[in-house]
Amino acid sequence: MNNPEFKRNLWLEFSPQRLLLMPLMLALIAALTIFLSEQDNASSNLHLVFSILGGLLAVGWGSFAVMHSINSEISERTWDQQRLCSLTPWQMAWGKLLGASAYAWYGALLCAAVALVTGLLGSNPIRAVILLVAAILGTLATHCWLMASRLHTMDVHRVESSRTVQRLFGIFMLLQILPVILMAIFQNREDNQLSQWWGIPLGFSSLSLLLAVQALALGLLALWRSISTQLMVRTTPWAWFTGCAALGFIFAGFADAPQLGWLWPIMICTALVASYFALFTEKNNALVWHTVLYHARHRAWLRCLQALPLWPVSWLLALLATLLYTAYAGTGSHIASDTANAALSQKMGKVLPSMMWMLLLHALRDAGIYLFFAWRNSTRKPAGMALLTYAVLGYILPLFAGVGSDGLAQIFEPLTGFTLRNLYAETGFFFSSLAWLAMCTHVLIVAALLVWRWRSAVALQQDKASDQN
C-alpha cells in the first residue's frame, strides 16, 4: 500500500458506485443460476458458472486493463514522467501489475470465493483449492507476460498502436481465455497421473500448479527486465540468460527418459528461438553496436554487457549447450537402459549433435543477414528485407535447384542435406560434406558483407561529422 503507482491505479479503478455494482451483478447471476438449476445440482452449476466467470474477469478484463495502463501512458504522453519518478523497476512493475487490474481482480476474487465454497462441498475439496490457486497464479503470469512483451516492443514515439498489433492481441487473448474455460469445464475429471516432470508423477491439479508457479516466476523476471529497459535502468543480460536456460529446463522435464539426454537439445532450440525473437524485436542498428564496441575498446566490460543486445546472449547459451551436449553424447550416457530403445538412442546421440551444430551456424548466418539490413543508412525497418532473404535462400532457390539435383539444394539451404534415413546409417556424419561447406561459406560471406557494411556506415558518419565542422 506504500507504492504510489499502486495507490494511483486504485484511485482510478475504484469508486463507491463501482464497489457496489460488482457484487450486485454477481449476486444477480448467482440467483439466476440457482433459479435455472435443479435442486440437486445447483451447487455444481454455481461452481462451474463462477469458475468460468472468474476466469473471464481475471484473464480477459484484467489483461485488457494492464495493457491499457501502458498504452494510455503513451497516448497521454506521460511515460516520460514515469521515467523521472523515484520508483524502482520492481515497484513500478508491481504497481501496474496489481493496480491496473485491481477492479477486475475484485470481481474475479468474489467469483473465486463462490467457486471455492461450492468446490469444498464436492468430493475433492483439496483439489478444488489447488486448482483455484493455480488459476490465480497462472492469470498473474499471463498479465506479467503481456506487460513484458508490450514493454519490450514499445516505441514511445508512436502514439497510436497499429491494427496488426491489436489483432494479434485479440488472438492472444482468445488463446488465453479458452484454456481457462476448458479447465473449468473439465476440472471434475479424475485426477489420475497424466504426465511426469523429471521423473515425478503429476496429476492434473499438481501439474497445473507447477506450471503456474514456473510461468509466474519467469513472467516476473521478464517484466522486471522489460520495465528496467524502458525506465533506462542499466542492467546486465543475466535475466535473459537465466530465463532461456530455465525454459529449456522446464520443457526438458516433460521429455521421455532419460531427460538429461533431451535437456541440451531442448535448451539449444529454446535459446535459438529466443535469439530470433530478440533479433526482430530489439534495436540492432549501427549506433547500438557502435556503443558496444566503444565500451569494449575501453575495456568497460560492465557497460559493454549493459549495452549488448539480447540475441547474442541466447545464442551463446545455445553454443554452450551444444558444446556440453556434444561431450555428453560422446560419453554414451544418453543410451536408454532398455534393449528395445538402446539402438535408436545411440543413433540419436550421433545425429542430434550434428543437427544442433548446423542449427547454431544457421542462426548465426540469419542474424548476420538481419544486421546487414539493420546497419544500412535508412529509416526502414530491416525485418521485411531479412525475411525476404530468408525465403529466397531457404525456399525459392533450393526449390529451383532441387529440380535438377537434390544435392544442389544444399548449396542454398544446407539443412536440406539432412535426411531421416541417416538415423539408420552407420556413419556419424548426418550432413553431407557439401552441406557443411555451404553453411561455412554462407557464414563467411555474411561476415564479409557485415564488415563492408560497417566500414561504409563508419565512413558515412565521419563524412557527416566533417561536413558539420
Say whether the peptide bond before residue 353 is cis (omega within 30 degrees of 0).
no
Are the CB atoms for 144 and 73 separated by under 8 Å?
A: no
Are the CB atoms for 357 and 322 separated by under 8 Å?
A: yes
| Structure confidence by residue, pLDDT tens digits, 334-363 | 544 444 455 555 666 667 788 889 999 999
pLDDT tens, per residue, the chain with 469 residues: 677 888 888 888 888 888 999 999 999 998 988 888 776 778 878 888 888 888 888 888 888 888 888 877 777 777 777 777 777 888 888 888 888 889 999 999 999 888 888 877 766 778 878 888 888 898 898 888 888 888 887 765 554 444 444 444 455 555 555 555 545 444 444 555 556 788 788 787 888 888 889 989 999 999 999 888 888 888 899 999 999 999 999 888 887 665 567 888 889 999 999 999 999 988 888 889 999 999 999 999 999 999 999 999 999 999 999 999 888 876 655 544 444 455 555 666 667 788 889 999 999 999 999 999 999 887 778 888 999 999 898 888 888 876 655 567 888 888 876 654 444 444 444 677 888 899 999 999 999 999 999 988 877 776 666 666 5
* 383: phi then psi, degrees, rounded to nearest 5: -60, -40
Are the CB atoms for 168 and 93 separated by under 8 Å?
A: no
DSSP E strands, 350-397: none
Contacts made by residues 373-378, CB under 8 angstroms, sequence distance 24+: 374/284, 374/285, 374/286, 375/285, 375/286, 375/289, 375/450, 375/453, 375/454, 375/457, 376/453, 376/457, 377/457, 377/460
Are the CB atoms for 159 and 237 separated by under 8 Å?
A: no
221: its cell numbers: 523476471
